[in-house]
C-alpha cells in the first residue's frame, strides 16, 4: 500500500517523501510541476536509495487522478499541492480560490470513490487571522486571514470538517504550519522559489549567494524586542517528521485532528539575519524598508497538542536551519535549474 503525496516535488512535500521512504513506506507523488522540478525525484532517490512513483498530473483533473488510483494501491493521501504565494493571491484571487479549492474537492471525491478516507492536509497558521493572541492554540476560533491564500486554507479546513460530519469513516489531519525554513542536511533538496523570493529565508539565502544585493527588512517599528517582526521558524525536516506522525495518528480512529506544527519560539527578522551571518560567516547586507501590507507583528505556536497527541516536537535549532539553508543554497545557487 502507498501514500499518495500531492505536491511531492515541492519544498515541504519533497522533504516529507524522504521521511516516508526512510521509514519503508511506499510513496506515489502527484505533481503538475507548475512550481517544482522533476529533478526532485532523482534527488529523493539519491538521498533515500528508493525511487517513488511519480505522475505529472494536476490534482484538479479527476479523471487523471482516477487512473492513478486504479493503478496504485493508495491507503492515504497527504495533500500539499496548492498555490502558496500570499502577495500573488491578493493580485490573482480567482486563480487561488479556483486552484486550491478545486484541488481539495477533486482529491476527496476521487479518494471516496476508491474508499480511501485518510488525508493529511497542509494548512497554515494564517487561519488564526489577526485577532487571536499568540501563542496560537488549536481550539481558538479560526480568524479572518488577510489574504485570499489564507482564506483558501480556512475554506479547505472547513470542507474537510464537513466531509467528516457527512461520513464519520474519514480520518483527517489538519496541520497548521508556522514558518518552515532550512533544507535537508544532504543539501540535495531545499526551497527553490521562482522569481523574487517572497519569504524571508529564501531571500536571505539569495543575498548570501550573491543573487541579490541586499535584504529589505519590512518594518523596524513593530512592538517587538527589536522592532522587527517575530515568527515561529521550523526546520522543514522537523515539519516533514510531523507529517509522518500525523499520518500514523489517522490509523487510530476516524476523526478530525488539528495540530499546530511550530516550535513555540518566536524569532525576529534581525535575530534570524544575525544568526545566519554567525553560522555561515557570510555577510547579509540589509536596509530598513517600510512595513509590508498585511504583516502581523508577532505570532508563534503553542505546540503542546502535537507533543501530547503525536509525541512530536521540533528538534532542530535556528542555527541548524541557517546552516542547512546555506548548505543547500551554496551547492545549488540556481536551485534545481541548469544542473
Ligand atoms: N521579511 C522581510 N524581508 C523580506 C521578506 C520577509 O523583512 O524580504 C519579513 C516579513 O515582513 C515578516 C518576516 O520577514 O516580518 C517573515 O516573512 P515571511 O514572508 O517569510 O513569512 P510570513 O510573514 O508569511 O509569516
pLDDT digits (tens, 9 = 90+) for 278-299: 999 999 999 999 999 889 999 9
Q: Is the CB of 229 under 6 A from ligand 1?
A: yes
Which residues, at least 6 apart from 292, have a Cβ–Cβ distance to it below 8 Å? 218, 219
Q: What is the pTM of this model?
A: 0.98
Domain ranges of the chain: 2-182+234-263+302-315
Of 236, 232, 327, 323, nearest to 276 by C-alpha is 323
Ligand 1 atom nearest to CA at 292: 11
Q: Output the residue whose Cα is nearest ligand 1's atom 20.
A: 199
Q: Where are the alpha helices (DSSP H) in 117-166?
A: 148-166
- Report the chain's terminal Cα–Cα distance, integer Å: 34
128, 149, 177, 300: the catalytic one is 149
Pocket test for ligand 1, best of 153, 198, 200, 211 (most atoms within 8 A of CB): 200
CA of 271 to the centre of ligand 1 (A): 13
pLDDT digits (tens, 9 = 90+) for 78-137: 999 999 999 999 999 999 999 999 999 999 999 999 999 999 999 999 999 999 999 999
Ligand 1 atom nearest to CA at 178: 25
- Beta strands in 188-232, from DSSP E residues, in sequence order: 215-218, 230-231
CA distance 305 to 76: 23
Of 19, 335, 45, nearest to 190 by C-alpha is 335
Calculate mean pLDDT across residues 25-33. 98
CA distance 147 to 322: 28
Sign of CA dihedral 139, 141, 146, 151: positive
- Domain 2-182+234-263+302-315 class, CATH top level: alpha beta
Quote the pLDDT of residue 146.
86
Which residues, at least 6 apart from 181, have a Cβ–Cβ distance to it below 8 Å? 191, 199, 200, 201, 233, 234, 235, 236, 321, 325
pLDDT digits (tens, 9 = 90+) for 46-55: 999 999 999 9
Q: Is 286 a catalytic residue?
A: no
| Cell, residue 246 | 500525523
CA distance 303 to 312: 9
Amino acid at each position: 500500500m502507498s501514500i499518495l503525496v500531492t505536491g511531492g516535488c515541492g519544498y515541504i512535500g519533497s522533504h516529507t517523501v524522504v521521511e516516508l521512504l526512510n521509514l519503508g513506506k511506499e510513496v506515489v507523488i502527484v505533481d503538475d510541476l507548475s512550481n517544482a522540478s522533476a529533478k526532485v525525484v532523482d534527488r529523493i532517490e539519491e538521498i533515500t536509495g528508493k525511487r517513488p512513483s511519480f505522475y505529472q498530473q494536476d490534482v484538479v483533473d479527476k479523471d487523471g487522478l482516477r487512473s492513478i488510483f486504479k493503478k496504485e494501491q493508495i491507503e492515504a493521501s497527504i495533500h500539499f499541492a496548492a498555490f502558496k504565494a500570499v502577495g500573488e493571491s491578493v493580485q490573482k484571487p480567482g486563480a487561488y480560490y479556483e486552484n486550491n479549492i478545486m484541488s481539495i474537492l477533486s482529491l476527496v471525491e476521487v479518494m471516496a470513490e476508491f474508499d480511501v478516507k485518510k488525508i493529511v492536509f497542509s494548512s497554515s497558521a494564517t487561519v488564526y487571522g489577526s485577532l487571536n493572541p499568540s501563542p496560537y492554540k488549536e481550539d481558538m476560533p479560526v480568524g479572518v486571514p488577510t489574504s485570499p491564500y489564507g482564506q483558501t486554507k480556512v475554506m479547505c479546513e472547513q470542507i474537510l470538517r464537513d466531509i467528516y460530519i457527512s461520513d464519520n469513516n474519514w480520518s483527517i489531519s489538519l496541520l497548521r504550519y508556522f514558518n518552515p525554513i532550512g533544507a535537508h542536511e544532504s543539501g540535495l533538496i531545499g526551497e527553490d522559489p521562482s522569481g523574487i523570493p517572497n519569504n524571508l529565508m529564501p531571500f536571505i539565502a539569495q543575498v548570501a549567494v550573491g543573487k541579490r544585493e541586499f535584504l529589505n527588512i519590512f518594518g523596524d517599528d513593530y512592538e517587538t524586542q527589536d522592532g522587527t517582526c517575530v515568527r515561529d521558524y521550523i526546520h522543514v525536516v522537523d515539519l516533514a517528521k510531523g507529517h509522518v506522525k500525523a499520518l500514523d495518528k489517522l490509523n487510530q480512529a476516524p476523526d478530525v485532528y488539528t495540530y499546530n506544527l511550530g516550535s513555540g519560539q518566536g524569532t525576529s527578522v534581525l535575530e534570524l539575519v544575525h544568526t545566519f551571518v554567525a553560522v555561515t560567516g557570510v555577510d547579509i547586507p540589509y536596509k530598513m524598508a517600510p512595513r509590508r501590507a498585511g504583516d502581523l507583528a508577532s505570532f508563534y505556536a503553542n505546540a503542546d497538542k502535537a507533543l501530547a497527541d503525536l509525541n512530536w516536537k521540533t528538534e532542530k535549532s535556528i542555527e541548524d536551519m541557517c546552516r542547512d539553508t546555506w548548505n543547500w543554497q551554496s551547492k545549488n545557487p540556481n536551485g534545481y535549474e541548469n544542473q
